[in-house]
Structure 1
Amino acid sequence: MTFNKYLLAITSSAIISSPLYAATVYKTDSQEFNVGGRVEVRGGLTDGDYSDASRVRLNVDGKNKLNDNLTVFGRYEFEITENEDDNEANLNTRHLYVGADTQAGSFIYGHQVNAVTYLTDFTDQAETFSGYVNENTVTTADRSKNTLRYVYTADALTVQASATQNANDNADGYGLMAAYKFSPELELAAGVATSDQEYGNGTDTDDSTSYLVAAKYTKGSVYLSAMGMAGNISAEGTEDSDFVAADAFAAYYFGENQENVVNASYSYYSADDIDELETNFVGVEYARYMGNFALFGSYKIALNNDTSSGNGRENELLVGARYGF
């Protein structure tokens, strides 16, 4: 039995032996331990070619209140996908961190979200076609390794800072952001992230800096958000190319319990001297949520020189079903 199959067997046994709908395995006044995850089958059509994008995500997390001023916590989450050519599994770590909640804020270290992820999540809301334009540097991406993050929240204000050392692509960098809720419906945010990382050019590293602004509005059945980003980015053989990016998302929820949603997204990224980063598409989607189960269908319309799914302009259709526990 290979290591991956052995890990799958252990994990499956642990999940099956627990009550299916019980996320909290153990809880007292001072301690809590949870198990969760999802099984998601997805299939896509791109230019007539079918590809499977199914995956499994499993996570465990817990916390321990040591006293009125200090609570410690930890989380581990990994994703499993299958190789296209055989039945072997690929294992990818998504979260692996420990942290502490204090009166001065929260401190978290490990493989986790970056500070500006709070801001980019405003528009990264679709099941499939959203959240592309922030993934081109380590410190603006959704997650990075070896990251220390600080979170402070007071009433309507949220402030986060993160620092990354020797992470993905030998990257160092930091991120800062602040968000303010002007009302229950409206929140605005701004941030900056910089990284010094490799871009496929051996051991040389180049600087990239991104400035971000975002807004989201929610009221009743409507969710609207937008994010803008600009700065400079490097690539193999290219230094300090200016870029601009934009992300937008709009959703409408309907049904007796708002279990249906239709949404549209727009993603744009253009660097002056790096054609392979061009992103320019519209996504439309319908999803239905039934308790722990979801069905969704998404269609991406590629515009101009969009290369987000390969080396040329390609439309994509993706359908899927997900069970979460």
Structure 2
Amino acid sequence: MKRTLIALAVAGAAVATGVNAGELYNQDGTTLSLGGRAEARMSIKDGDVSDVSRVRVNVSGKQEISDDLYGVGFYEAQYTTNDLDANGNSNSESSSIEHRYAYAGLGGNFGEITYGKNDAALGVITDFTDIMDYHGAKASKKLESADRIDNLLSYKGDFNDLSVKAAYRFADRTISTDGNDYDDNDADAFSLSGIYTVADTGLAIGLGYADQNDLANQWMLTASYTWNDLYVSALYSAADLDDTDNDYDGFELAASYTMDKTVFYVTYNKGELDDGHVAFFDADDLAVEVAYFFKPNFRGYVSYDFNMLDDDEVGDAAAEDEAVLGLRYDF
């Protein structure tokens, strides 16, 4: 079973990107589909309310070339009502549009190869514990080149019970300081991951590695177990962020239980950073959530994050608890 199928089984009626997409055209081997979500989200911190709603729209196309080969293209944009800072605070005067995905490629029995803006190899590993609608996933920070990023050549393939993914991020081309030629700034990076599902046991194990120009690297190990309506998972992440003692260790535990149309979630996140880094920070929180699926593509949820960071060390804003009320429609 693929990891995406495990995630669907956990949520009971959860809808992943593309699963509920509506087919717009299907003729002569060409398929075009439209999907996305509209999500109203109210964030409450210290009694103050912020609108953190968002809308995603994606278009996917597939062209059959032969019995063993097809072409694929995918684009997804996200509109958010507010821009959030690192502490989750919003600016009511601001909004943004993000181009989340934009790639094309070839696929077949060998797997699928794409180029553009896409997920690198560690996202499928962090998906094991990133199961909540809003909170959680604070301790599984990824290197930038191992996350969703542009200028990425990626491969994914399924081989019986083993799923593999590999990605290479090319260094961006920039003009040299003297303006006479181009410089790629030596920022090439790669990431690898594999997920093995033990047949007929409910057990899945994942391992991932990323290297960013030999200056930073990261390991991730994860496992999950599904038994009827119960799902539990754990993740460990270790990152060496540069050639000093700037290291990061992160732990995540996650569980969910499905009862008819209601899904209960709980996650614990603990991350410790030896020194400051722009994309990594300390985390210590317990998050709980209840989601009710009116229909497979329409849910409401209440999510609460108990933030256990010391406000004397990180400041009041970074240590604040947060409650979120949400309604999500997938199409």
The residue that corresponds to 1:181 in the other structure is 197
Residue 268 of structure 2 corresponds to 266
What's the CA shift string for 1:229-248, capped at 9, x where partnerless?
113124xxx94512211112
Question: Could you report, residue by residue, the CA deviation over 1:237-277 in whole angstroms, capped at 9, with x for unpaired residues?
Answer: x945122111121000012xxx2100101112111123871
Change (3 A) 1:88 1:312: closer
Cα distance in 2 for partners of 1:26, 1:139 equals 35
Is the Cα contact below 8 Å between 1:280 and 1:305 reproduced in 2?
no
Q: Pick the aligned partner of 2:287 from 260, 283, 288.
A: 283
| Alignment partners' CA distance in 1, 2:303 and 2:186 | 35
| Structure 1 alignment gaps of length 5 or more | 1-20, 197-205
Q: Residue 125 of structure 2: SS of its match in structure 1?
A: helix
Q: Does 1:223 align with 2:223?
A: no
Q: Which residue of 2 aligns with 1:69?
A: 68
Count of aligned pairs between the two proteins: 289
What is residue 36 of structure 2 aligned with on the other side?
37
In the alignment, the residues of structure 1 paired with residue 155 and residue 123 of structure 2 have an alpha-carbon distance, to the nearest angstrom, of 13
Residues 1-325 of structure 1 aligned to structure 2 (within 5 Å): 23-28=22-27, 30-83=29-82, 89-141=95-147, 143-166=148-171, 171-184=187-200, 185-196=202-213, 207-234=215-242, 239-255=244-260, 259-274=261-276, 277-291=281-295, 292-305=297-310, 311-325=317-331
| Contact map agreement 2:32 2:61 (CA 8 A) in 1 | yes
Tell me, in whole angstroms, the C-alpha distance in 2 between the residues paired with 1:36 and 1:308: 40
Give 5+ residue unaligned stretches, structure 2.
Answer: 1-19, 83-89, 173-184
For residue 175 of structure 2, what is the aligned residue in structure 1? Answer: none
Judged with a 3 Å threshold, the aligned counterparts in structure 2 of structure 1 residues 272 and 88 are, in CA distance, closer, same or farther, namely closer
Q: 1:308 to 1:224 in 2, by over 3 A?
A: farther
Query: AA paired with 1:145?
Result: D
Q: Residue 99 and residue 310 in structure 1: after superposition, are their counterparts in 2 closer, same or farther (change >3 A)?
A: farther
1:295–1:218 Cα change, 3 Å? same
Identity of aligned residues (%): 29
- Deviation sequence 1:19-68 (CA, Å, 0-9, x none): xx970011136111000111111011112221110011101001011001
Aligned CA distance change for structure 1 residues 166 and 47 (closer, same or farther; 3 Å):
farther
Cα offsets for 1:131-177 (capped at 9, x unmatched): 23333521333x1111111112111011111111236x995311011
CA distance in 2, matches of 1:171, 1:269: 26
Task: Report which stretch shifted further, 303-312 or 122-131.
Answer: 303-312
Q: CA deviation at 1:282?
A: 0.7
1:207–1:240 contact (8 Å) kept in structure 2: no
Distance 2:21 2:101 in 1: 21
Q: Secondary structure at the match of 1:268?
A: strand
- The RMSD of aligned alpha carbons is 2.6
2:135 is paired with a residue of what secondary structure?
coil
CA distance, structure 2, for counterparts of residue 192 and residue 49 of structure 1: 40
Indicate if the aligned counterparts of 1:298 and 1:319 stay in contact, CA closer than 8 A.
yes
Aligned 8 A contact 1:277 1:308 in 2:
no
State how far apart, in whole Å, the 2-side matches of 1:106 and 1:321 are: 34
Normalised TM-score (structure 1): 0.81
- Give the CA deviation at 1:214: 0.6
What is the distance in 2 between the residues matched to 1:29 and 1:125?
38
Q: 1:193 to 1:324 in 2, by over 3 A?
A: same
Q: Any idea what SS the aligned residue of 1:127 has?
A: coil
Paired AA for residue 131 in structure 1: A
Amino acid at match of 1:27: N
Question: Is the 8 Å Cα contact of residues 95 and 111 (structure 1) preserved in structure 2?
Answer: yes
TM-score by length of 2: 0.80
Counterpart residue identity of residue 125, structure 1? I
